[in-house]
Structure 1
Amino acid sequence: MDQTYHGQHFARRVDGLAGETTSVWDIHMRAVADQAAGRDVIVMSVGDPDFATPAPIVESAVAALKAGDTHYTAIIGRDRLRRAIAEEFARKSSRLAGPENVVVTAGAQNALFSASLCLLSPGDEVLVFDPMYVTYEATLKVSGATIVRVPSDPATGFRPDIAALEAAVTERTRAIFFANPNNPTGIVFSPEEVAGIARIATENDLWVVSDEVYAGLTFDADHCHIGALEGMEQRSVTVSSVSKSHAMTGWRCGWLIAPQELVGHVHNLALCMNYGLPGFIQEAGATAMTEALGEADRMQEIYRRRRDIVVAELGKSDLIDVVVPEAGMFLIADIRKTGLDAPTFVAELYREKAVSVLDATAFGASLAGFVRISFAASEAELTEASRRIVAFAEGRAGA
C-alpha cells in the first residue's frame, strides 16, 4: 500500500530511500553543529578530508568560470575528462578502455545509484559483503531488488568470504556489489579473493559493480581491479571519483566505467536525472586526473601517517582492539571489552569527551560491538582524540 500523509500519496519506494541506518549519523550531525558553534569538539565520524582541494585544481575551475563555462555540457561528460579517466584506469589495470566506456557522474554515489537502476529489477537478488557502506542499502533497494548479505568473519579480520558468496547465489541473483578497498574496514581484497569473485560472476552470468573510491589510498596491499581480469570486461562496472584521492568531496565529480551498452542506458538515465555535470567542475576533474595525479600519492602518505598515529594511540588500551586498515581513511575498533554496546559507547564518548565516532553496526550486523573511526583530521587532533577515547574506555571499564 502507498504511504499516505495528510491526504497525500507517496510511492512505495520512499520509505526505502532512507534505509534503516540513517540514525547512525545523529551524533555526527550534533558534533558538526557543536563544532560550528565553537565548542571543543573533534569529529572522527565522517570521511571528509580536512585540507583544501589542491590549488591547481581550484584554479582550473575558476579559470573555466571566468571564461564563461556556465552552459550545458555533454550528458555523459566531456571528452577530455572521460579520456583522462579511461587512460588512468588503463594505466593502473592494464585493461584497455576508452572514453566510450566512461560516464561522468555527480560523485561515486550517483554512479552506484545509476548502476543499481540500470542493472537491477524487482524480484532480482543482489549479493553484498557485510559489512558494506551505509548508503548501499537504500541505493540497491530502490531498484526493487532484494539485498542478500554475505557476512565477513571478525576472526579473519573481515576478509571477504568467497565460499559463502558462492553458496549465496540463486537463480534470482543478478549482480554482486562491493567496495574494494572496503569502507568501513579498510580491507584491500587480495588477487585471489578478486579472482574468486570474478569466477563466480562468470560461471553464473552475473554483473559485478566494484566501488574503488579508495583504490588510490592503499597502504599495505596492492589494489586489484576486477574489471581487468579475463572475462570480466563485459560484465563489470568500475565506480570511482576524485573525492578522496584529491580532497574533492564537495565537487561531486565521479564516474563509472562499463561496457558501451550499459553506458548508453546510464546516459538515458542521466538525461532525465541531472542532465550533465557543470563544465567548470569537469575541468577541475580533468586537471586532477592529468596535471595533479601526484596529489593522490601525497595524500596517500598523509593518511598512512595518520593511520599509524591512531593505531598506536588506541593500542595503548587493552580494551580496544583495532583492525588495522590497509587503505582509506577509516578504521574499525572492537570496544566490547569496555562492557558497553556500540550505540552507548558512541553517545557517552561524545557526551564525556566531545569526540564523535560512528556506531559501525550501521554497516552490517557483523560489526556489532565495533565503532568506525575516521582519521581525516590533523595529526594533532587525531592524537588528542585517540587519547580521549582511551581515557574514556579505561574510565568506563574501571567504573
Structure 2
Amino acid sequence: MRYAAITERLAHTGGAKWAIHQRSREMEAAGAGIIELTIGEPDLPPDPQLFEVCHQSMLAGRTGYSSGRGEPELLDAIAARYSRRREGVDRSNVLCFPGTQTALYATMMGLTGPGDGVLVGDPFYATYDGVITASGAHRQSVPLRPENGFRLTASDLEAAITPASRVLLLNSPHNPTGAVLSAEEVAEIGAVCKAHDLWIVADEVYEELVFDGAFASPFDMPELADRVIAVSSISKSHAAPGFRSGWAVGPQEFCEKLLPLSETMLFGNQPFIADMTAFALNSDLTTSTRMRESYKRRAAQFADTLEKTGSMVPFRPRAGMFIVFDVSATGLDGETFAWRLLDAGVAVMPGSSFGDNAGKLIRLSLTVPDESVVEACHRISSFVESL
C-alpha cells in the first residue's frame, strides 16, 4: 500500500531518539532500580489550585467544544502576559494549542514548505527535526560552540544562511545545554534575520526557569514585531506537562493565516484546561520559583561531583532542567557512554539525540529528588572509575 511522503520524512525523527529512556522504563518495571535522568518531567507537582480550577470548570459544564483560536479568557490572559513585554498585543495576536510541540508543528507547517531551510542551533531539542521536516523543509544547522557556552552567535548564523533559508528556530533558554542569550546577543541575531528577511520562531518554554540574570527575547523588540512568533506553554513553568496547554503569539496576519490550519488539526482544546491555564497565567504561584531553586542546586551538585572524576567536563546551565557533560575524555562517545551507564543503573540521554554537534555529550535531567542526585553521582563516578 502507498503512504504519504510525510511518513517517510518523519520515519527517523521519532521514538528512536528516546530508545534509552524507553529501555530504562522497561528495566525499572522489571525491578532494576534505575535512576531516570532522561526526560524533563518536573518532580514538583502542579499547584493544587490548578486541579481545583480544572475540576470546578468541568462541574460547571465546561466540557463542550472550544473556539478554534482559543477560549476568550485564556486568549486575554496570554495577551496580557505578552503585552507586558511589548505594547500592542491583544487577542488577535494569539493562537492556543495543546502544548508547545503542537504550536511548533503548526507554525512550521504554516511558514515553510518543500525546499525551504530552517536554521537551528546545534545541539537542538530532539523533536525539532520532526517539526522542521514535516512540511518538506530541511534543517540548516548552526554550530553552538562549547567555547561560547553553546550560545548562538550572529556571525555563525550569518555564515549558515543560504537562499533557501526561511526561518530561524531560536531556543533560549536552551535545551539541552541551559544556555541563555543576552539582550545584546538577541538584538544582533534579530538584525541578521531582518537583513535576510527571516522569520524567527522563538521557543521560550523555559522562560521562567532562568537561574540568574534576565531573560531576553526577540519578541520584546518592536523592530522585529512583524517577524517573531513566540511559542510556549505551562508544561515547564507550572510543572503541568500532561495538561498539554500551550500557545503561539505573533503578528495578526500570521494568526489569521494559521487559524484554518489550526482548526483543521484541532478545532480548539479543552475549555476546562483553558480555564485552568488562564488561572495559572493570572496568578502569582510559586511553582517556577521552587523549581528554579531546586534545579540550580542539583545542577551544581552534578557539576561539582562529576567534575572530580577528571573525565567528565560539565557545562553549567544558566536555566532549565538539564545539564550536559562532555564525556570524550573517557574514551567513549555520548551514545556508548549512555548505554553502558544504563547497565550501571543510571539512564541519561546521549548527545546524539540532540544533533550532529552533540556526539561527545550526555544530558542529565535535574528533575529527580536531591537524594537521587547524590546516588546518581555515586553510580556515575563509580562507572567512570571502572572504565
1:221 aligns with 2:229: no
Name the residue aligned to 1:54.
47
2:9 to 16, 20, 28: 16
1:316 aligns with 2:299: no
Name the residue aligned to 1:84.
77
Name the residue aligned to 1:42.
35
1:138 to 119, 130, 140: 130
Alpha-carbon distance in structure 1 between the residues aligned to 2:146 and 2:154: 15
Q: Which amino acid aligns with 2:290?
A: R
1:21 deviates by 6.8
Is the 8 Å Cα contact of residues 154 and 366 (structure 1) preserved in structure 2? no
Deviations 1:272-313 (A, max 9, x none): 111110011111111111124432223222222222222222
Q: Which amino acid aligns with 1:34?
A: M
1:362 aligns with 2:358: no
1:344 to 311, 317, 336: 336
Q: Which amino acid aligns with 1:343?
A: E
Alignment of 1:1-399 (within 5 A): 8-20=1-13, 22-91=15-84, 93-351=85-343, 353-396=344-387
The alignment partner of 2:118 has SS state of: strand
1:122 deviates by 1.3
Alpha-carbon distance in structure 2 between the residues aligned to 1:96 and 1:336: 49
5+ residue gaps, structure 2: none
TM-score, scaled to structure 2: 0.96
Alpha-carbon distance in structure 2 between the residues aligned to 1:255 and 1:37: 38
Identity of paired residues, percent? 36
1:230 deviates by 3.0
1:37 deviates by 4.2
Deviations 1:24-48 (A, max 9, x none): 3111112123334443111001000
Q: Which amino acid aligns with 1:316?
A: K
Structural RMSD (CA): 1.5
Aligned residues: 387
Deviations 1:76-113 (A, max 9, x none): 1111111111212233x244411221111010000100
Change (3 A) 1:184 1:11: same
Alpha-carbon distance in structure 2 between the residues aligned to 1:230 and 1:84: 21
Alpha-carbon distance in structure 2 between the residues aligned to 1:99 and 1:38: 50
The alignment partner of 2:222 has SS state of: coil
Change (3 A) 1:142 1:317: same
Alpha-carbon distance in structure 2 between the residues aligned to 1:31 and 1:337: 25
Is the 8 Å Cα contact of residues 9 and 136 (structure 2) preserved in structure 1? no
Alpha-carbon distance in structure 2 between the residues aligned to 1:261 and 1:293: 33
Alpha-carbon distance in structure 2 between the residues aligned to 1:37 and 1:357: 18
Alpha-carbon distance in structure 1 between the residues aligned to 2:92 and 2:210: 28
1:125 deviates by 1.5
Deviations 1:59-80 (A, max 9, x none): 1001111112110011111111
Q: Which amino acid aligns with 2:368?
A: A
The alignment partner of 2:156 has SS state of: helix
Q: Which amino acid aligns with 2:380?
A: I
TM-score, scaled to structure 1: 0.93
Change (3 A) 1:172 1:341: closer
1:20 deviates by 4.5
